[in-house]
């Protein structure tokens, strides 16, 4: 009779390392997202969404904590449940994209094709944000 103790719950080392890395990334993104509430150029919502994605793949406990947090949960809850994002958040994100990208691309990037790529990305993100449902 073969012993199967430990085989059902044994997780490969690579999987444990990936989960650990995602957990650390989620914690870092959460910390930066919280800082973004107070620092105007640090994007809160995208960092918290990234944290939620990292936690969803690494820690059910942290994922649930983030989504149920009384201050942080509402920031990303509307996006995750499909009800949309507030109009103020859309406007803020679009304005910041263009206010930061335009001078950066025109003043700091010497290669024309990189400039074009940056403006194409900004346009794509803007269109994506405009297509998201808006909630009050």
| Helix or strand run (H / E) with residue 61 | helix 60-68
Return the CA Rg of the chain.
19
Spans of the chain below 70 pLDDT: 1-11
- Bridge partners of 69, per DSSP, are none
pLDDT of residue 84: 87
DSSP, collapsed to helix, strand or coil, labels residue 86 as strand
pLDDT of residue 96: 85
DSSP state of 9: T
| Model confidence, pTM | 0.69
pLDDT of the residue at 45: 85
**Cα–Cα distance between 49 and 36 in angstroms, integer?**
13
Q: Supply the pLDDT for residue 3.
A: 45
């Amino acid at each position: 009779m073969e012993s199967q103790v430990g085989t059902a719950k044994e997780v490969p080392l690579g999987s444990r390392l990936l989960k650990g890395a995602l957990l650390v990334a989620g914690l870092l993104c959460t910390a930066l997202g919280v800082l973004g509430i107070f620092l105007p150029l640090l994007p809160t919502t995208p960092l918290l969404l990234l944290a939620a994605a990292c936690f969803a793949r690494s820690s059910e406990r942290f994922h649930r904590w983030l989504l149920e947090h009384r201050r942080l949960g509402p920031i990303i809850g509307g996006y995750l449940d499909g009800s949309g994002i507030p109009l103020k958040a859309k406007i803020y994100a679009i304005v910041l994209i263009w206010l930061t990208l335009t001078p950066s691309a025109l003043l700091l990037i010497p290669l024309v094709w990189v400039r074009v790529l940056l403006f194409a990305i900004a346009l794509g993100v803007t269109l994506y944000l405009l297509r998201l449902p808006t909630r009050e």
